[in-house]
Structure 1
């Protein structure tokens, strides 16, 4: 009986501490200058059971409570997605503004990336990335947001996959192009996406040379969704002195996609 009481008390303490942590995280997220940024390869809303289910994808996003979402593998009016504009539908279901960025024509529609935001979207630009023959056209979607008195730019991208020499070469071309765009940018930038690059691959190491990851080593795996063993999804900051990292997590949501979503909670500091 005494052991049961001890177990019960411990369970209550654990519940209270987790509840307090959740309240504090929500309090931080509700601050007008606090960013809860999610990067999520949604696999065109086809869940692990092989069924199209935008509602489940939207629920996974809503449950995590981000105010900025950087999406990859998004369909726009394709046959396999029943002709739906997935960015618009997810925006409606989550109560956020949306922008879609096309990478390629696919299955009677378009395929690419998207941004959802609770902050006002000021403008957006979709920039196609360089690629070598035999690889796939990729893109980087740039979206300027109004955050308090600041302008913040977020970028979502999905880089070349594969482990052949041509894939490594293409990814390096793509991150070099992204660097040129970022260094010419006047505002702080958050880059997130499926970089298809292990932490020791040249693509990520190149980005890390001028941007700061929002998480620290040892990196938590993000792929595949079930029993992940490697990290290929990232959130990085340009002008990191403008940000304070409050929290980082890999969301345990293995049934929604073949990737696990990642979330960085950041405080955007005012310019003094």
Structure 2
């Protein structure tokens, strides 16, 4: 190839990457398209709809499939409990959705276990159960926490939990979650049924470390019909907020498989 042809080829290649700003300066014109991460949090009420004890896990699976989330946090999950057919609900949902999973027991229940779970399309590792503090009497609570490998050097600590019904316990649990968020020294999201809204003292405490998935307001998710409370949320520590930009957060109205609406949160990174 002649010398002037090689030079022309180089100039053509350069023109696809740079343009002039009118003053002779080169400015980049190509932008790397950001990826999306979709996160869902869903209190599944052990697979039974509001006001019913008739369990239908396939309805829960269909609700999840409809939005095809990358990461799912589940609360009120039965494992080998008679009322739900002695099924490992976390494992079954993972199989129906083709995802990896981890379950964390909060309490023993009817000869089985009851707690929270995470599901992931991406490889997960470092699976651990973290028990939350209970300074006053109440139902034990735990966090299912995993490390998620999103590929291309991007990773995330992702957890599911369900805070207690009374304020003293929720406050102690919020403080414990803050400690986890600070100790992580990496992006962390905790998706949960917080049993509280963001203007309460306990979730204001959490906002010292985490920001919540409220875009133009927090989506109301409970009760399932005519919801008035925004208690199903995703919390991101600072490193997570710096890495993952919050794009939208919506409660999926019309989803009546549980007594809560699922909340879908979309990030870019």
Interval containing the TM-score (normalised by the shorter chain): 0.7 to 0.9
Q: TM-score, normalised by structure 1?
A: 0.82
Q: Which residue is equivalent to 2:195?
A: 196
User: What do the CA deviations read for 1:106-134 (whole angstroms, capped 9, x no partner)?
Assistant: 01100000001000012211100010342
Aligned partners of 1:194 and 1:232 also within 8 Å: yes
Q: Which residue is equivalent to 2:20?
A: none
Distance 1:248 1:217 in 2: 9
Distance 1:32 1:253 in 2: 30
Moved more, 245-254 or 60-69: 245-254
In structure 1, the residue corresponding to 2:161 is in which secondary structure? strand
Distance 1:117 1:176 in 2: 26
The offset of 1:33, in angstroms, is 4.2
Q: Aligned pair 1:136/2:133, yes or no?
A: no
- Find the partner of 1:64 among 44, 50, 67: 67
User: What do the CA deviations read for 1:179-209 (whole angstroms, capped 9, x no partner)?
Assistant: 1121010220111100001222112111122
Q: Which residue is equivalent to 1:34?
A: 36
Q: Number of matched residues?
A: 233
Q: Which residue is equivalent to 2:10?
A: none
Question: Following TM superposition, where does structure 1 have runs of at least 4 consecutive aligned residues deviating by more than 3 angstroms?
Answer: none
In structure 1, the residue corresponding to 2:73 is in which secondary structure? strand
In structure 2, the residue corresponding to 1:171 is in which secondary structure? helix
Q: What stretches of structure 2 of length at least 5 have no aligned partner?
A: 1-32
- Find the partner of 2:149 among 119, 141, 146: 146
Distance 2:258 2:231 in 1: 14
How is 1:147-162 mapped onto 2 (pairs within 5 angstroms)? Answer: 147-148=150-151, 149-161=153-165
The offset of 1:97, in angstroms, is 0.7
In structure 2, the residue corresponding to 1:170 is in which secondary structure? helix
Q: Which residue is equivalent to 1:46?
A: 48
In structure 1, the residue corresponding to 2:127 is in which secondary structure? strand
Identify, as 1 or 2, the structure richer in helix.
1
How is 1:167-206 mapped onto 2 (pairs within 5 angstroms)? Answer: 167-206=166-205
- RMSD between superposed Cα atoms in Å: 1.5
The offset of 1:253, in angstroms, is 3.2
Distance 1:181 1:253 in 2: 35
User: What do the CA deviations read for 1:28-60 (whole angstroms, capped 9, x no partner)?
Assistant: xxx894210000000011123531001110000
In structure 1, the residue corresponding to 2:128 is in which secondary structure? strand
Taking a change above 3 Å as real, the CA distance of residues 198 and 214 of structure 1, as seen in their structure-2 partners, is closer
Q: Which residue is equivalent to 2:102?
A: 99
Q: What stretches of structure 1 of length at least 5 have no aligned partner?
A: 1-30, 162-166
Higher Cα radius of gyration: 2
